[in-house]
Amino acid sequence: MKGVQLFLVASAFLAFAWSLASASDPSPLQDFCVAINDTKDGVFVNGKFCQDPKLAKAEDFFYSGLNIPRNTSNPLGSTVTQVNVAQILGLNTLGISLARIDYAPYGGLNPPHTHPRASEILVVLEGTLYVGFVTSNPENRLITKVLYPGDVFVFPVGLIHFQLNIGKTNAVAFAGLSSQNPGVITIAKAVFGSNPPINPDVLTKAFQLDKNIVTSLQSRFWWDNN
Ligand SMILES: *[C@@H]1O[C@H](CO)[C@@H](O)[C@H](O)[C@H]1NC(C)=O
Ligand SMILES: *[C@@H]1O[C@H](CO)[C@@H](O)[C@H](O)[C@H]1NC(C)=O
């Protein structure tokens, strides 16, 4: 194999290894890559196909309405408004996104969940939030804080975290996330509300519960606040 070919193969391998090892979105290789809003199932790529950059327009980098409070009358008392590559096509390949979270007074909860592809930095605008995350095994240390308007808190990538409104008023927070598509795994919903259901024997042993409690949990409706 010639030197140049060897170099190219080695570079490709290193790039591939880096993409496996890196927990964040890959870096862009051009100014932007406004996604084609293609809802058809075609070839799946890691991200989305780019439009011709000459066709880019302001709307591809724009979203509005995040000032509007969302309805939190639901079983969790919270609503997440996601602003990621699905809402802003111009976020494709840029490795960031945003969310607004509204919490009902007296216990509005964004329940324990993880973002498999993003760290999160959250700023409270209104209200009082009890927030926390749990470190990975074996310590599983719980790290919590009560947040007031203007306070900022970080949830490291992949860790289970939550926010609870412990105040008497609505609470509002905005979160920045280090992926164009952070993903959400809500623990209770994923475990007890999977489709099809996980074999109850698995959950009975894993959660040290009676089987009838497991089947009762599995029969419930698990609200998705996203
Ligand atoms: C909020 O949602 C609930 C449940 O869907 C509904 O009954 C209520 O009218 C909504 N409130 C507003 C202000 O839209
Ligand atoms: C993508 O297309 C769908 C279906 O036409 C539309 O509902 C959605 O708003 C579009 N998304 C963006 C970000 O333009």
2-27+57-183 classified as CATH 3.30.450.20: no
Taking only the tens place, the pLDDT of each residue in 103-142 is 999 999 999 999 999 999 999 999 999 999 999 999 999 9
Question: How many angstroms does the Cα of residue 220 sit away from the middle of ligand 1?
Answer: 22
Q: Whose CA is nearest to atom 13 of ligand 2?
A: 87
Question: How many angstroms does the Cα of residue 76 sit away from the middle of ligand 1?
Answer: 14
pLDDT > 70: what percent of the chain?
88
Answer yes or no: are the C-beta atoms of 166 and 128 closer than 8 Å: yes
Question: How many angstroms does the Cα of residue 73 sit away from the middle of ligand 1?
Answer: 6
**Sequence ranges of the domains in the chain:** 2-27+57-183, 186-226
Q: Whose CA is nearest to atom 12 of ligand 1?
A: 71
* Per-position b or e across 119-136, b if 16+ CB within 10 A of its CB: bbebebebbbbebbbbee
Q: Whose CA is nearest to atom 11 of ligand 2?
A: 87
Q: Whose CA is nearest to atom 4 of ligand 2?
A: 39
On whether 140 is known to bind a ligand per the annotation, the reply is: no
Residue 216, both tokens: 């009762």
On whether 161 is known to bind a ligand per the annotation, the reply is: yes
* pLDDT value for 13: 47
Taking only the tens place, the pLDDT of each residue in 37-91 is 876 767 778 888 899 999 999 999 999 999 999 999 999 999 999 999 999 999 9
| DSSP calls for the chain | --HHHHHHHHHHHHHHHHHHH--SPPPPSSS--PBP---S-----SS-PBPPGGG--GGGG----TTSPPP--STTSEEEEEESTTT-GGGTTT--EEEEEEE-TTT-EEEEEE-TT--EEEEEEES-EEEEEEPPTTT--EEEEEE-TT-EEEE-TT-EEEEEE-SSS-EEEEEEESSSS---EEHHHHHHS-SSPPPHHHHHHHHT--HHHHHHHHHS------
Over the chain, what is the mean pLDDT? 91
Taking only the tens place, the pLDDT of each residue in 154-185 is 999 999 999 999 999 999 999 999 999 999 99
Can you say whether residue 105 is alpha, beta or left, with left for phi > 0 and alpha for psi between -120 and 50 degrees?
beta
Q: Relative to the CA of 88, which ligand 2 atom is closest?
A: 13
Mutate-to-test residue for ligand 1 from 68, 70, 71, highest number of ligand atoms within 8 A of CB: 71
Question: How many angstroms does the Cα of residue 84 sit away from the middle of ligand 1?
Answer: 25
Question: How many angstroms does the Cα of residue 101 sit away from the middle of ligand 1?
Answer: 17
Q: Whose CA is nearest to atom 9 of ligand 2?
A: 87
Q: How confident is the model at residue 23 (pLDDT cuts 50, 70, 90)?
A: low
On whether 110 is known to bind a ligand per the annotation, the reply is: yes
